[in-house]
Structure 1
Amino acid sequence: MKDNYIPLRVNRDFGGIVSVYFDFFKQNIKNFTNVFISYNGVFLIGLLITSYLLVSGFLGMIAQESSNNSFGNGNEFEQDYYIYLGVGGFLFVIIFLGVAFLNYSLSTSYMIKYVETRDENVDKKEVWELAKSQFGNIFVFVLLLIPIYFVYFIAAIILNIIPLLGFIAQYIVQFGLTAWIGVSFFDMLQKKKGVTEALGEGWKLVTTNFWKSIGVNFILGILLGILLMIALIVPGIIVGIYTFHVVENNVDYSHSIVSTIVYTLGTCIVLIIAVYGQCLSQFVNGLLYYALHEKTYNENTRATIEQIGQND
């Protein structure tokens, strides 16, 4: 056993889960980032291309609307911008589904291997092999998220009609749904279960510990959001300063290579950080899963007692 290993299969209360999350984060952030970059290369390139298409389309549309350009064939150029936006939007949806498919798998597999090896230096190849072995179930799981979230969006619209209470209820449902999906996904990979069986187990664990599940996702969701906002400060300042320069000097941004590069890189950085944040949020539900599972079944506690008995 490594001295610096952080035991995760422990029945922790709300404060304990929040505290151990940041201990796990600090210890594993460097190694997991290496895993993330290694297996997200294609998607990162795809996000860069998507950012270029979306930025080109938006800049052109804004310039067209504000009459900053004097085109001979305005309708033709406007049609080109719609094509950029359409293709960029389509690629974004495809890449988003691919990212959800991959990174939910990587973050979950990483934490499972961390527990199995009891070592912070998790082998990225082992992480990939575990995720790859469950790709069939993962794919079905991701597909099931489409109708699940469709029902959620309908419920959210209905709840938002109700003043104040509906707004609060909508967020309770949102964080409950996040906990259910995250815990279910973790159970599927940890126990190698089928999709419906894992969703049933996740439902049982979350509903029997409902407010703990809501609270953990709410508090850590806010803290992670602040952390990601801090990461965006530097690129945000750069883009803001450049935008001020564009406005003050009447730069023809729709035809400027520099403008396209600056806004494309800025958009791409935002998307990459959002994708990375998705992985960090799944770590939240991984810790929640281990805490709730141990509280319900006491598997680790019983194994420890049995080991003590054998040593005696």
Structure 2
Amino acid sequence: MFQLFKKRNFSEYISDTFLFFKENGAHFFRNYFIINGTLLILLVALSYFVFKVYFELIFSNIGSTSSNFLDDYFNNNIGLIIGVFIVFFLLILFVSLVNYTFPVLYLKLLDQHKGQPFDAKEIIDEFKSSFGKVVIFFLVIFLLSITVGLLIMGLLVAMMFIIIGFVLAIILIPALIAFVQFSFYEYMNAEIGVFDALGKGYSKLTQNFWPIVGSTIIMYVIIQIVVSIFSAIPYIIGIASMFTSLENQSSQEEAFSTFGIMMVIVMCISLLLSYVLNNLLVVNNGVIYYSLREENENKNTINDIDLIGTDGE
């Protein structure tokens, strides 16, 4: 059984994240795709449609004699565009909530079951019972993002005219990611309010700030590298196909059509991988969260003492 409550250093924050997936990855992702697979398929299918229409509009406008081509299209299809946008937005919102909450609930159940097996139904039941809490938490985070968050981002952008702004962004963005995730773990594991959870999340972030920020940066970079590698393959194929079509004196429309399809595939792959690989980042912060709890609560030490008493009986 993977040990959640364990005192860890910086290198163990990273190595134990991969150890978790080595030991529990098959069970984790099997339940992940049982719960989130259909939603991801719907999202990718809708994304394919949206991106395909977008690129067709862009490339069909090349060489067009009408200066109001895009305006005419939007005016003639305004109802469809608004409808698709609303469905797309709501689907992304719901998939994001499920995707972000799944690893938090998985680790919570892993702790509760003490190595005993559990299935997707238990995770779904846990999600249903806490859905209201999840919505409230992210609603508060959204409101804070468009107030305090925009102010912070504005200051960072202003400071980017000098080098220190870039340095602060590299530190502050992963710190904010870890802060929100620690707060969410705290909120989902304790009967406390959102703002109490945010306070505890901040305390945990400052408890071991630099190793936490460093670990979050490394995980984020790994995710971006993997996404870039898999997304680059269809992109390169699309570029090569476009130039091959032009060299063979094929029609310009055919060349741009092939490139557009490949770009749609790139966007869909990037979207899908971003959701799936985000588990790596959330689990990493979960490993850190339980490690910090062990430092504060000494749960393993207490359990060992209880076991000694049990053995004595």
Q: Which amino acid aligns with 2:89?
A: V
What is the CA-CA distance between 1:121 and the residue it aligns to? 5.7
| More off after superposition, 80-89 vs 134-143 | 80-89
Name the structure 2 match of 1:16: 12
Q: Which of 106, 120, 127 is 1:124 aligned to?
A: 120
Pair 1:102-2:79 in alignment? no
In the alignment, is residue 59 of structure 1 matched against residue 56 of structure 2? Answer: yes
> Which structure 1 residue ranges, 5 or more long, are not aligned?
none
What is the Cα deviation at residue 283 of structure 1?
A: 0.7
Q: Is the 8 A contact 1:175 1:218 kept in 2?
A: yes
What SS class does the counterpart of residue 192 from structure 2 fall into?
coil
User: Contact 1:48–1:265 at 8 Å: present in 2 too?
Assistant: no
User: Match of 2:311?
Assistant: 311
Name the % identity: 24
Which of 1, 21, 25 pairs up with 1:25? 21
- The offset of 1:15, in angstroms, is 0.8
Contact 2:108 2:189 in 1 (8 A): yes
Deviation at 1:284, TM superposition (A): 1.2
Are the counterparts in 2 of residues 54 and 88 from structure 1 also a CA contact under 8 Å?
Answer: no
In structure 2, the partner of 1:164 is 163
Against the structure 1 CA distance between its residues 57 and 49, is the aligned structure 2 distance closer, same or farther, given a 3 Å change threshold? Answer: same
Q: Give the equivalent residue in structure 1 for 2:204.
A: 205
Residue 139 of structure 1 deviates from its aligned partner by 0.5
1:104 Cα offset (Å) = 1.4
For the 8 Å contact 1:108–1:282, the answer to whether it is kept is yes
Alignment deviations for residues 37-86 of structure 1 (CA, whole Å, 9 cap, x no partner): 2222134313321331233123313331x21x567994534645887776
Structure 1, 75-84 or 205-214: larger mean CA deviation: 75-84
State whether residues 56 and 84 of structure 1, in contact with CA within 8 Å, keep that contact through their aligned partners in structure 2. Answer: no
Q: Which residue of 2 aligns with 1:279?
A: 279
- Tell me if 1:217 matches 2:213: no
Aligned length: 305
RMSD over aligned CA atoms reads 3.0
Tell me, in whole angstroms, the C-alpha distance in 1 between the residues paired with 2:67 and 2:211: 62
TM-score, normalised with respect to structure 1: 0.84
Contact 1:160–1:166, Cα closer than 8 Å, also in 2: yes
Aligned-pair CA distance for 1:200: 2.0
- Counterpart of 1:135 in structure 2 is 131
Q: Compared with structure 1, are the counterparts of its residues 98 and 193 closer, same or farther at alpha carbon in structure 2 (3 Å cutoff)?
A: same
Could you tell me how far apart the structure 2 residues matched to 1:51 and 1:154 are?
Answer: 34
* Cα distance in structure 2, aligned partners of 1:32 and 1:80: 46
- Looking at structure 2, the residues matched to 168 and 259 of structure 1 have their Cα atoms a distance apart, in angstroms, of 37
In structure 2, runs of 5+ residues without a counterpart are none
Q: Within 2, Cα distance between the matches of 1:120 and 1:138?
A: 26
The AA in structure 1 aligned to 2:128 is K
| Cα separation, 1, equivalents of 2:166 and 2:78 | 35
